[in-house]
Amino acid sequence: MDRGFVHGATLVLPDRICSGGMLWQDGILKEIFDEASEIQRFRPEDLKKTTVWDMEGDFVIPGLIDTHVHGAGGYDVMDGTPESLHTLAEALLKEGTTAFLPTTMSCSAEQLKRVLHNVADFHRGQLWGAESLGLHLEGPFLAVEFRGAQATDLIWEGAREGSAQFLANLLGEFPDLVKILTFAPERPDGRELVEICAAHGVIPSAGHTAANFDQMGQAVQWGVRHITHAFNAMPGIHHRNPGLLTKALLDETITMEVIADGVHIHPAVIDLVLRNKSPERVCLISDGTRAVGMPDGEYELGGQKTLVRQGMAQLPDGTIAGSAYPLRQGLKTLVQTLEYPLPKAVCYVTLNPAKLLGIDNRIGSLELNKEATFIRLSPDFDIKQVWLQGKLVFEARGI
């Protein structure tokens, strides 16, 4: 029996903050104490064979869940090697991300299959690092005019025959691996792609798209319920051409990914989204690249050179190329810049993505009978400790 106990914590629960502690057994939360006075009933003999930690007033929040991340620590999902995924997962863990969807870029059919084989092997045999939850397939079924940092010659344009059959074969070859497909719904094969996703339990998400308001409305009727990195790689909102973003803001069946790193979207626009969508309909993502946790310099993304300067990753032509920040930066933006209540802000990076993927029964919040997977943060939101299923797996130096 493996028992653990933390006290002196500023616990961030889904609906409140409290000064208490948690007790877990075999990696599962068994008791949560709202107040320190509740903990005083424990006698020393009650905690025999129990590892005890004093959190010294630090924040304790659920592990962060990133549903859209390409890389970290100098490695990228598209490297297609076991070493890359192991190092990426370790790098994410040190930043407080305890679970993630490895995310692809547009590429050739041959490379995509190699990458999926690698992710599938890692997913089955993972022993350490942030937990792989499956895969986010971003492309190659995108709109060239809104390609962002995706290489033009690697996007499978709408006129290309066989795209839908390729997707069906791919999902059949790798059952239950792909969780989200980012695609342009205005493509001629848009409806077919959505139907294939539905048949395989994949979330179809509109992204890198030129879809207008009516086309997005049609896509919703087909079953599209998600927007990839909203406001990026898609038309903006115009008063005579409202576009897909207006549809997403008005339709409560649609969830929206938002990159809140302070680079991709102005904080006022983030605030606009959060004020207009129900709290559970937005998930913060990082869109992180191999530059996450690395110094400024030159990197690679999707076969293209990127330059990172002062936290901004760009292609040589100035196009923003993913993020150099981890998901934790989005949490800081909400709390420190927009002054959102901490419990609400935490849900955008924990419980909401868990609900999107249908795994909120085990992770995403500090609640009884869920995993004791959590992170310890300083008052400035610096990582101090990371715990996976009741085990301390990372501790910052100098704690």
State the catalytic residues. Answer: 287
**209-242 core/surface letters (b: 16 or more CB in 10 A; e: else):** bbbbbebbebbbebebbbbbbbbbbbbeeeeeeb
For Cα atoms 159, 161, 165, give the angle at the middle one, nearest 5 degrees.
130
Q: Give the β-pairing of 304-309 and 312-314.
A: antiparallel
What is the rounded CA–CA span in Å between residue 379 and residue 335? 11
Burial class from Cβ neighbours inside 10 Å (0-12, 13-18, 19+) for residue 193 reads buried
What is the rounded CA–CA span in Å between residue 54 and residue 199? 48
What is the rounded CA–CA span in Å between residue 30 and residue 11? 15
Cβ neighbours around 153 below 10 Å, total: 9
Residue type, 57: G
Q: How many angstroms from the chain centroid is the CA of residue 262?
A: 16
Burial class from Cβ neighbours inside 10 Å (0-12, 13-18, 19+) for residue 113 reads middle
What is the rounded CA–CA span in Å between residue 246 and residue 237? 7
The position carrying tokens 């089955």 is 124
Residue type, 82: P
**247-276 core/surface letters (b: 16 or more CB in 10 A; e: else):** bbbeeeebbbbbbbbbbbbeeebbbebbee
Helix (H, G, I), strand (E, B) or coil at 363: coil
Question: Which of these, 369, 300, 365, 397, lies nearest to 99 by C-alpha position?
Answer: 365
